[in-house]
Amino acid sequence: MSARVEEKHRAPIRWMHWINFPLLAMMVWSGLLIYWANPVYSLRLFGREIFYFFPQGFYSFLGIPYRLAEGMQLHFFFMWLFGLNGMAYVAYLAISGEYRSLLPTFGSFKRAFRVALYELHISKQKPPQGKYNDAQRIVYTLVILMGAGSIVTGIAIYKPLQASLFTSLLGGYEWARWGHFWLMILFAAFFVVHVVQVVLAGWRNFQSMITGVEIIKSEGSGE
Amino acid sequence: MTVEHDQDTKWPGGHENSANVLNERRSLSDEMSDTEARKVLFARSRRGFLLGGVTALAGILGWRWMPDETKVGFLQKVFRFNEKVTSAFYRPAHLAPEFPAEKITRPARVNGMLGIENEVDLASWRLNVGGIPQRTGDLVLTMDDIRRLPRSECITEFKCIEGWSTIVQWTGPKFSDFVAAFTPWRSPEEMPPYVSLATPDGGYFVGWDTASIMHPQTLLVYEMNGEVLTSKHGAPLRLASPTKYGIKQLKRIGRIDFTNERPQDYWANEGYDWYSGL
């Protein structure tokens, strides 16, 4: 039996990925400290309230109440690191050519459907898998766009007078805040799905995000 | 150990592997034995997990061990940094959007009674103005003095630092018209860099940068939504401006001081951003 060592995730990708984790966590946490002061959003379907963000128990359990000032202090510091890390990541993707493994291609949307069928155990036919499969390409690209969206909506509510162009393009201050909130919910949802998928994909895949490498057996099933 | 392979490198999975179809920049080592491969992985694992673990631990412990005062002191410095960065983009000519009268939020939301808990005695109310050059003592003004100033009006979005906003019609002289009428200064550049405002009882006080308070939409307000200002909204005279959060838009102004020193600010003392500029 012989094997090959695949250089899967290059060091800058790994560093920026892991640095982003605590930064995003900090942005969400401090964002919650701020949101508590005016908690007005809920999930509605056909005019009915399905879930109110957030029940009182959620705040008291996490010790969120009356920490608006602290939330703003943290949010307006970590925003710089979160923004810079995100921009560095995008710049690196562009310069290194890594975007080729990440951006969806013309066939991606069709093939992502196959990924979904396969993962839901409806189809047994394995979808094409490169560094990422097509569903991953779409979702990971969307997450980057969500980051950009958080920055833009964030600027629109942080400086609604100075950046009034952003604010009005987003439909005004209230809509910008609404968008900023729902992007956070989407990040949280992505995080949950991402962790579940990583667990399901197994150790070999997980460790490659830390070591950068994955062993590919030449005989047998391969990837 | 690893070599960059040519375009024709065959990745496992044939055409099903997008690395074979697209120009993915991945590299694959030459064939090696299982044991060798495991050795490579072990070395990389040790390095990766150690480095990652130590970095994560250093971050967590550093954050936990840092005393709260150090943290808050640092974050306050970040507020000042953000103030420098964002105030560099401040343009006095850049106006906040105005709204049509039917968009006015009714009834107007009342929030915060600091410094105005007692009923105001309108007959004895005076505006004391300090810090005007070539003057000994305060300039003392009545509401009639204020009403004689040019009357301005704007319907703008009022934003609370808590996150809510309402649309309000404000009426009264521009702060800049007040400065033009009662002080020798002819431009914000000639003025001291700060303005301090306080309620008559001194229970609530705010600090402003001169650039923001001289913004053309910063008004000394005596009418709100077309009616005389009520006590809860800061009668007889309050400040209103789309350049700052509501915490800065002091109700029932008793004192105005022009000053070279950054004034005390009620909510800044509680950990909020002194600048609080929008």
Domains of chain B: 2-65 (no CATH), 91-270 (3.90.420.10)
- Report the mean per-residue pLDDT for chain B: 91
CB atoms A210 and B12 under 8 Å = no
For residue A223, tell me if it sits in a domain. no
Give B7's pLDDT tier (boundaries 50, 70, 90).
Answer: very low
Within an 8 Å CB–CB cutoff, is residue A5 touching chain B? yes
For residue A211, tell me if it sits in a domain. yes
| Residue numbers of A between 83 and 122 with CB closer than 8 Å to B | 96-98, 100-101, 105
CATH code (residue A142): 1.20.950.20
Q: Say which residues have a Cβ less than 8 Å from residue B278's Cβ, sequence separation at least 6.
A: A159, A160, A161, A162, B159, B242, B243, B244, B245
For residue A222, tell me if it sits in a domain. no
Largest CA distance in chain A: 66
Which among B258, B239, B236 is positioned nearest to B248, based on CA atoms?
B239
For residue A92, tell me if it sits in a domain. yes
Within an 8 Å CB–CB cutoff, is residue B260 touching chain A? no
CB atoms B273 and A72 under 8 Å = yes
Of B13, B25, B49, the CB nearest to A222: B13
CB burial class (10 A; 0-12, 13-18, 19+) of residue B226?
exposed
Strand partners, A2: B33
Examine the pLDDT at A85 and tell me if it is beyond 80. Answer: yes
Within an 8 Å CB–CB cutoff, is residue A12 touching chain B? no
For residue A175, tell me if it sits in a domain. yes
Cβ–Cβ under 8 Å, residues A216 and A6: yes
CB atoms B278 and A160 under 8 Å = yes
Within an 8 Å CB–CB cutoff, is residue B42 touching chain A? no
Looking from the CA of B141 toward its CB, the CA atoms found within 13 Å total: 23
Of A2, A133, A207, the CB nearest to B32: A2
Examine the pLDDT at B10 and tell me if it is beyond 80. Answer: no
CB atoms A6 and B26 under 8 Å = yes
pTM for the model stands at 0.91
**How many helical (H) and strand (E) elements, i.e. helices and strands, does chain A have?**
9, 4
Low-confidence winner among B64-68, B259-263, B272-276 (lowest mean pLDDT): B64-68
Name chain B contacts of A213, Cβ cutoff 8 Å.
40-41, 44
Q: For A164-197, how does the pLDDT look when each residue is reduced to its tens digit (9 = 90+)? A: 999 999 999 999 999 999 999 999 999 999 999 9
Taking the C-alpha atoms of residue A85 and residue A23, their distance in angstroms, rounded to an integer, is 9
Counting the structural domains of chain A, the total is 1
CB atoms A8 and B26 under 8 Å = yes
| Residue numbers of B between 155 and 184 with CB closer than 8 Å to A | 157, 159-165
Q: For B108-137, how does the pLDDT look when each residue is reduced to its tens digit (9 = 90+)? A: 999 988 999 888 889 999 999 999 998 989
For residue A107, tell me if it sits in a domain. yes
For residue A129, tell me if it sits in a domain. yes
Could you list the residue range(s) of the whole structural domain that residue A112 is in? 3-217
Examine the pLDDT at B51 and tell me if it is beyond 60. Answer: yes
For residue A199, tell me if it sits in a domain. yes
